[in-house]
Amino acid sequence: MLIPQTEAELAAIVAEAEGPFHVQGGGTRPIGGPVAGMPLSTSGLSGIALYEPGALTLVAGAGTPLAEIEQVLAAEGQRLAFEPMDHRGLLGTEGVPTIGGVFAANVSGPRRIQAGAARDFLLGVRFVDGRGQVVRNGGRVMKNVTGYDLVKLMAGSYGTLGVLTEVALKVLPDTATAATLTLTGLDDGTAIRVMARALGSPFEVTGVAHRPDGPEGVPLTLLRLEGTERSVAYRAAEMARLLAAFGEVQIDHDTARTRQTWQGIRDVKPFHGVSGDVWRLSVKPSDAAGVVAGISSARALYDWAGGLIWVLVPEGTAAGDVRAALSGVGGHATLIRGGERDAAFHPLDPTIEALQCGLRQRFDPRGLFNFGLMGVAA
């Protein structure tokens, strides 16, 4: 395993490379692949270079442990609003998740529907391209339209375009209190309507999820409210009134328990240690229940009001059988655990794929980085 300690060292390694690399952060999110090549970790490029709480910005080496960043932010009453998932429990991996890995896979949690995705909080990047050149894009300010937005391009490109060395991100204030509202016994279709109603209200819901098989087999529809104590109390009452027609709304004002509940949803806890392949589907929320009904023997966990569906299917289920459920409705499906790993990423329209290949060839002409990931045949 190569673990360069500086950006310059990394650039030299890439410039002189004769074979491909398997680029990774902490290696906790092995999605797709398998990837051939010499393992190359960014974990040596670690450390917070700048943190200005009053400007809501933080700059850190790509290999900085996520936990270190979360700890530093918490000390100032701030947080990563996009709430990145920890994949270790679901995938059974070990290791230290890095901030670079979070952005390389564009990992966002339940708050994505209200606050935005990881890519929305990434302000700037430094990376080493396939020629071994250091490239800078974006910056450390919140509004920046100077030149093309390669920051977005790098987010979610799984290390196939370059090796991230440094990221600048926007952070937000944490909230003092959080509450969970629960409705029980709703079928998937009704739950989707409830969640849409909640999100279409002015009450700023920061989590909207549905578990068709709750702890005792009873469906649970969950809403999260965050803010000051008074504000959360007010909005919880308003929300309960708004949704009264769908059944009794239980309100749990315990902040610690709410955090735990939503961490479980973020990390897809119901599927931890349960055998089967796990898929991640992104769809228009109102299509969600129909899509799940179209996959045989599927267990589902709906997040993002139905826009994100975690699906557990029997081991070895063909990728085509899962993706067939999306035909005619749009969206995409990514295999996260088990199954046909080389079919993990959603097939692209040929014109889009040609553009993607073109970009790949410009950024990494020798095909050094995570060759074969994301279905990009270089």
Partner 1 sequence: MEMPRPNPDILARKPQLLARLSGVLPSDALISDPAETRAYECDALTAYKCPPLAAVLPSSTQQVSDVLRICHEMGVPVVPRGSGTSLAGGALPTEDSVILGVARLNQVLETDYENRFIRVQSGRTNLSVTGAVEADGFFYAPDPSSQLACAIAGNVAMNSGGAHCLKYGVTTNNLMGVTMVLMDGTVIELGGAHLDAAGYDLLGLVCGSEGQLGVVIEATLRILHKPEGARPVLMGFDSNEVAGQCVSDIIKAGVLPVAIEFMDRPCIRACEAFARAGYPDCEALLIVEVEGSDAEIDEQLETIMEIAHSHNPVELRQSTSAEESARIWLGRKSAFGAMGQINDYMCLDGTIPVTELPYVLRRIGEMSGEFGLDVANVFHAGDGNMHPLILFDANKPGDLERCEALGAEILKLCVEVGGCLTGEHGVGIEKRDLMTDQYAPEDLEIQMAVKDVFDPKWLLNPAKVFPLAASEAHRIAAE
CB of 2: closest distance to partner 1 in angstroms? Answer: 23
Q: Residue 27 carries which side chain, given as an amino acid letter?
A: G
Interface of this chain with partner 1, residues 271 to 290, rule: CB under 8 A: 282-286
H-helix segments, 216-287: 229-242, 255-266
Strands laid side by side in the 57-61 sheet: 48-52, 57-61, 163-170, 122-128, 134-138
CB of 60: closest distance to partner 1 in angstroms? Answer: 15
Which of 5, 244, 330, 377 binds partner 1 (CB under 8 A)? It is 330
Residue 263 interacting with partner 1 (CB under 8 A): no
CB of 143: closest distance to partner 1 in angstroms? Answer: 4
Q: What number of CA atoms fall less than 13 Å from residue 73's CA on the CB side?
A: 24
Which of 44, 89, 294, 375 binds partner 1 (CB under 8 A)? It is 375
From residue 250, alpha-carbon distances to 182, 215, 304 in Å are 5, 16, 20
- Residue 54 phi, psi (nearest 5): -70, -15
From residue 28, alpha-carbon distances to 64, 85, 377 in Å are 14, 11, 24
Retrieve residue 265's tokens. 């949803």
| Cα–Cα distance for residue pair 38/21, rounded to 1 Å | 5
Interface of this chain with partner 1, residues 72 to 91, rule: CB under 8 A: 76-77
Which of 262, 271, 304, 310 binds partner 1 (CB under 8 A)? It is 304
Residue 241 interacting with partner 1 (CB under 8 A): no
Site string for partner 1, 12-31 (x = CB under 8 A): --------------------
Residue 228 interacting with partner 1 (CB under 8 A): yes
Q: Report the residue number, 96 or 333, with the smaller CB distance to partner 1.
A: 333
Q: Which among 191, 306, 178 has a CA at the least distance from the CA of 233?
A: 178
How many CB atoms sit inside 10 A of residue 291's CB?
A: 23
Residue 181 interacting with partner 1 (CB under 8 A): no
Interface of this chain with partner 1, residues 119 to 158, rule: CB under 8 A: 119-120, 129, 133-137, 139-153, 155-157
Q: What is the largest CA-CA distance in the chain?
A: 66
Residue 190 interacting with partner 1 (CB under 8 A): no
CB of 273: closest distance to partner 1 in angstroms? Answer: 27
Residue 298 interacting with partner 1 (CB under 8 A): no
Residue 345 interacting with partner 1 (CB under 8 A): yes
CB of 123: closest distance to partner 1 in angstroms? Answer: 10
